[in-house]
Amino acid sequence: MLKIYLARHGQNVDNVNGVLNGHRDKPLTKKGIEQAHEVANKIKGNNLHFDFIYTSPLKRASKTAEIISDTINGSKPVEMIELIERDFGVMTGEKQSRIEELCAPDIIKAELITYFLNPKGAETFPDLVKRADELLLKVKNKHKDGNILLVTHGDFGKMIYAAYYNLHWKEVLELFHFGNSELLLLSPNSQAGEAHVFKILQHNH
């Protein structure tokens, strides 16, 4: 049986400054490095092992993957471009606080995050679900069983979850918060809604 674990990167510079990062490539903060070590130590403490670790090429994800791999003496993370965060289009680099001002009424207000739907140049959530379907097919074709770790990002990580469980993207945006350095499990034996393996104390959303 193939179990796919999803980790989100630790806090990075844009996160702490309330900036929409998308494909921007800022490094982890000191707190982000601590969060990555926290989830890595929880993985080790629960005797979880990964046969392969794949990571988004962006620094915030690849550094998180590296910390996890080093902590558990795991395989060297392999970059996979398909794991990159959503392209935020014209919203890249804008303040999170301006989402409603710039994008309403095409927004969804979840408990902790306001999501913009289709600003100019941005990938839409249906775009992300399609990319997630292609990613999951690639992973499942390559790995028939074992434990695989994918280190990715907030928006795209949720759409991987949506694609795996065949849930509508709108439902998933409101279903749970996928915080920095949190770990989800996607498995035939893990029901949708029971995905969190670890939650991490959050210092930003």
User: What domains, with CATH codes, occur in the chain?
Assistant: 2-87+124-198 (3.40.50.1240)
Active-site entry in 9, 94, 123, 153: 9
Q: Which one of the listed residues 23, 38, 66, 85 is annotated catalytic? A: 85
In this prediction, the residues of the chain whose per-residue pLDDT falls under 70 are 192-205
Q: In what order do the strands lie in the sheet with 196-198?
A: 78-79, 52-55, 146-152, 2-8, 183-186, 196-198
Residue 9 is among the residues annotated as catalytic for this protein: yes
Q: Which amino acid is at 113?
A: I
Residue type, 77: P
pLDDT for 195: 63
Tokens standing for residue 107: 């927004």
Contact present, 127 and 87 (Cβ < 8 Å): no
pLDDT of residue 198: 60
How confident is the model at residue 111, as a pLDDT?
Answer: 85
pTM score, whole prediction: 0.93
The per-residue pLDDT for 145 is 95
Give residue-wise pLDDT tens across range 91-132: 999 999 999 999 999 999 998 899 999 999 999 999 999 999
Would you state the pLDDT for residue 190? Answer: 75
